[in-house]
A and B are shown apart, each in its own frame.
Chain A
Amino acid sequence: MAYTAESVEHLAAQFAQLPGIGRKTAYRLALYVLKMDKEEVVSLARALVNAKEKIRYCSVCSNITETDPCGICSNAKRDRTVICVVEEPSDVLALEKTNEFKGLYHVLGGVLSPLDGIGPEDLRIKELLGRVSSSSVDEIILAMNPNVEGEATTLYLSKLLKPLVGKVTRVARGLPVGSDLEYADEATLSRALEGRIAV
């Protein structure tokens, strides 16, 4: 690809940094951008910057939001006695789509994984314990992804939370092993939520 212009190389390299985008796709995207109208390109660039500038993390649940606290945390209709703990904002999105869960969330920002250098202090666990002790929470639902790291995080959290909360549950293991909450279909997720079990 030595004959392409430097700016195209640069753009492709930027695309290639995104998750799930290989070199080939990155070039396809870069070349596609060249074919777009200038206004379209400008609007795409603005949308990127805009999202980055406006989006922040909710100071209560750490979900991504434009307002702080986020729409879920500030919604008076949500059940404040139940908190569902998830790994990432994308998990909140997936669970919200089921229309099944009416409580609040807590986004950990990852899972325990010593191999990636992630220990308890790198997750928003202190914040979770703070929420639990400062408000009346009856149930915590642990909804980690069904894999080795999710399991360890569930075990770790349940030990910390049990003395503090009346009921600590986890979503049913109905999710196929190795699959992410993010990619599970809505019916499967609903079933997993319904069939939660005490830990």
Chain B
Amino acid sequence: MKVVSVEIRNFRNHTDTTLECGGGLNVLVGNNGEGKTNVVEAISYLSLTKSFYAASDAVVLQVGRDEFALKGDFSGDTGVRRHVEVRYRRDTARKTFLVDHTAAESLASVVGEFPVVVLSPEQTGITMGAPTERRRFLDLVIAQASKTYLQDLLEYRRILRQRNKILLDARIQRREPGDALEPWNKSLVETGSALMERRAAFFASFKDALERAYRTLAGNEEHPGADYVPSFKVPSWSDPKEIRALFEDELRQHEDEERRTGATGVGPHRDDIEFTIGGISARKFASQGQHRTLLVALKIAEFDYLKRQKGETPILLLDDVFGELDGHRSERLLEEAQTLGQVFVTTTDLRSFPRGLVPGEKTKVFEVEGGTVMEGVH
């Protein structure tokens, strides 16, 4: 998949920006605060139906405007042209997606149609931060690969909120939740188990990809690992009935705790991932350099995974990554990225770019200034 062109209207500091993208490397160059990240954000918004930076749509709407619109023309690996556009209005706080000029029946139906992989400084939390950040990473990858997963995920979140409301009401009113919980327990276990099975299957195939990517970048024999750590121990993933029985049992064991806290104590919303380097916890012991390499490797592995699952090459968005990596690793990343497919890269200074990057035939350079974008260096 490639972005052929993007139109950005009233989104962040871009009032009326059009980009005719190159099929290979696209470099967005400009000083800090000029609007480079915003372009990358716009592309990923079209793909993921939301911003990976901002918490709400109101935040990305340009200050003082009533409506923003993004349009993207895409071209699939087989050359099929796809079109996607989104409009968001302040007064209704609603966004509508059009895919190939027809209204999308839900946001979930858009996710995965235009696969992207985003690498930005915000994502260092995946290896260093809280479990929430790792779950977000996991969900975003699998959801792009599988619509069933996304559907289950949305249902699970709804079930969780309904169930937590019962627990919370009971706690506040100092009474037992009673049999009101029962139907929600069943739904929680069923949908939650489906999510966990899908996550376990993901890791089984993701590990190899991670190892390959890490070795390419680090060029040494350090072994990276990524292990699924569900909220309760599951000895085997082969028997669906067994998993559900374990989950039900765990719910019973968490009963007292749930009545105290007023929140669901066990389930995939409490899952985690343990990243290791050379068999040792990366979160606890890895150096800054190892963390960075691991993150980049994760993203390349994500790229690999999505490509295999979807039979469609994702678009790679690299925001401000070269300030973070040393010269050697940057060069490796760029070399690798250019072989992968279409790449968008942001930078404040073309000269600080690795030697490997001599704007070539397949490279396009865009100058970003005050929310406008111009092709070529001026």
Binding site for B on A (CB under 8 A): 22-23, 112-115, 119-120, 147-149, 151-156, 159, 177-178
Contact = CB atoms under 8 A, between A and B. Distances in A.
B208 interface: no
B234 interface: no
B92 interface: yes
- The secondary structure that dominates the B interface is helix
Contacts of A155: 182-183, 186-187
A22 B94 CA distance: 12
Given A155-B182, A159-B182, A177 B162 contact: no
A156 B162 contact: no
B187 A148 contact: yes
17 contacts: A112-B162, A114-B163, A114-B165, A114-B169, A115-B162, A115-B165, A148-B155, A149-B162, A151-B187, A152-B183, A152-B186, A152-B187, A153-B183, A155-B182, A155-B183, A156-B182, A159-B182
Contacts of A113: 162
A39 to B, nearest CB: 36
A156 B182 CA distance: 7
Given A177-B151, A178-B106, A115 B186 contact: no
A152 B162 contact: yes
B87 to A, nearest CB: 15
Contacts of A149: 162
A22 B91 CA distance: 10
B180 A148 contact: no
A178 B158 CA distance: 12
A119 B151 CA distance: 25
Nearest to B184: A152
B296 to A, nearest CB: 37
Contacts of B92: 22
Nearest to A158: B183
Contacts of B165: 114-115
B166 interface: yes
Interface string B174-187: 00000010111011
Contacts of A156: 182-183
B98 interface: no
Contacts of B91: 23
A70 to B, nearest CB: 29
Contacts of A114: 162-163, 165-166, 169, 180
Given A23-B91, A152-B162, 11 more contacts: A22-B92, A112-B162, A112-B183, A115-B161, A115-B162, A119-B180, A151-B183, A152-B159, A156-B182, A177-B155, A178-B106
From B91, B161, B163, B186, name the one whose CB has the most chain A CB atoms within 10 angstroms. Answer: B186
From A152, A156, A178, name the one whose CB has the most chain B CB atoms within 10 angstroms. Answer: A152
Interface string B132-165: 0000000000000000000100010011011101
A119 B155 CA distance: 19
